Amino acid sequence: MTKLYPKVNYIGNKLKVASWIIENLPIKNGKVLDLFCGGCSVSYVLKKQDFHVYSNDILYSNFVLAKALIENKNDKLKLDLKKIDDFFNIKDFENLKWMIDKLYFEHEVRELVNLINYSKTLKEYQNYLFLALLRRSMIRKIPYSRMTIKWEEIVKFRDEELSYKKYKRRRAYHNQPFLTHIKKELSDYNNAIFDNNQNNKAFHLDSLSLLKNLSVGNERIDLIYIDPPYPSTMNNYIGFYGGFDKMLNKNISNFLDFTKTENFLQNIKMLIIESKNITNLVAISLNNRCKPSVYELQNFLQNECKNIEIFQTTHTYKVTGKENKNIHNEILMILEI
C-alpha cells in the first residue's frame, strides 16, 4: 500500500515509530481499537496493513481526522469556493469573537466564519475532510503549532522580519489565508483516502465510556492500543487543539484525565479492568521519560495481567520552536489480560 499519511501538524505524532509498534504487536490481523488516536498516525498505518481499525478520541479535532482518514473509504473532497464570502453570517461572527486577538486577527476570524458555514454544505465525509484540512490550516498559522501560545507571542513571531532574524526564515505561511493552506494540502489529503476492505469506525468518546459501550454491545476486540497523554510530557492536548472544538461548539466535559501523575496509574488500571470485557490483549505506548515510570506501571498492573512484555527503541522527538532534538526510548508494553 503506497498511500501516504498527510501533514496534520500533531504534537507527539507516532508516525516515525508506528511501523515498529505494529511489528511488535502479538497479532498480524484482526480488529484493533486505537483508544487515544490523536493525529491518527498509528490508526493510519494499521489501516494500511489491513487491520480492522476503530479510532477514538475525546477531542473533536482528532475525531474529524479519524472520520476523514480512517473510517472514510473513498469519498474525496472537491472545493467550490467561488462565492466564499456568501457564507458570512454576522451572528456566527459574534459567536467567534473570542478568537480575535487571542488566536487570530479579526479578518481571519471572518474568514473562519465563511469556511465553517461552507463546510456545512458538504456531505458527511467531504465535510470531515474539509474540517480536517481547516484544522491543519489553523494550527499551521499559529507559531509553534499550538493554541496555548500567548497572543503577544503570536503577533511577535508572525512578524516575518523578526522570524527571519531568529530562524533565518520569514515563515510567511503564518500570514497566509486559511484557504491557501487548505488548497495546498487538498491533493495530499484526497490521495490519502483508501478502502482496506474493512468497516473501520471513528468514535468521539471518553476512553472509559467507549470501553463500557463496546462491552454492553458484546463487541470483541483483538487488541486495544493505548497511547494516553501521560504525565511529564507535552500533554496539554485540550489546550493545544481545543480551540478548534470550541469554535465548532464541541466543548469537552466529563472525561478520564491521564495528564496528572497522582491519578495516572489508577486511571490506567480502570481501563485495563474494563478492557477485560472485550479483549485479551492490550498494548500501551510509553517513553523512558514518563512519570510514573514504565516499571512502576508494570508493577502496578502485574496482578491484572497474565503476562507483560516490554519492547523499546530510540525515537528522536522534535518540539516546534525548540532547536534541540530530544532522543527518547519509545516503549511498547504488551499486556495479556
Q: Write out pLDDT tens, residues 32-51.
A: 999 999 999 999 999 999 99
Q: Where in the chain is the domain with CATH 3.40.50.150?
A: 15-73+201-336
Q: Supply the CATH classification number for the domain 15-73+201-336.
A: 3.40.50.150
Position 320 scores a pLDDT of 53
> Rounded distance, CA 198 to CA 93, Å?
40
Cβ-Cβ contacts under 8 Å for 160 (sequence gap 6 or more): 170, 171, 172, 174, 175
167 within 8 A of 323, measured Cβ to Cβ? no
Kindly indicate the confidence band of residue 52, based on its pLDDT and cuts at 50, 70 and 90. Answer: very high
37 within 8 A of 68, measured Cβ to Cβ? no
Q: What percent of the chain has pLDDT over 70?
A: 96
Grid coordinates given for 76: 474525496
Give the global pTM. Answer: 0.94
Q: Residue for cell digits 482496506?
A: 196
> Rounded distance, CA 241 to CA 146, Å?
7
53 within 8 A of 32, measured Cβ to Cβ? yes
Across the range 287-297, mean pLDDT stands at 90
Position 325 scores a pLDDT of 57
Strand segments (E) across the chain: 31-34, 52-56, 201-203, 223-226, 281-287, 307-318, 325-336
38 within 8 A of 258, measured Cβ to Cβ? no
Position 237 scores a pLDDT of 94
Residue that wins the pLDDT comparison between 288 and 122: 122
Neighbour count for residue 63 (Cβ, 10 Å): 25
Position 162 scores a pLDDT of 80
> Rounded distance, CA 211 to CA 13, Å?
23
Position 82 scores a pLDDT of 79
> Rounded distance, CA 114 to CA 124, Å?
18
Position 318 scores a pLDDT of 59
Where does residue 198 fall: left (phi above 0), alpha (psi -120 to 50 degrees), or beta otherwise? beta
Asked if residue 170 has pLDDT above 70, the reply is yes
136 within 8 A of 9, measured Cβ to Cβ? yes
294 within 8 A of 312, measured Cβ to Cβ? no
Kindly indicate the confidence band of residue 59, based on its pLDDT and cuts at 50, 70 and 90. Answer: very high
* Mean pLDDT score of the chain: 94
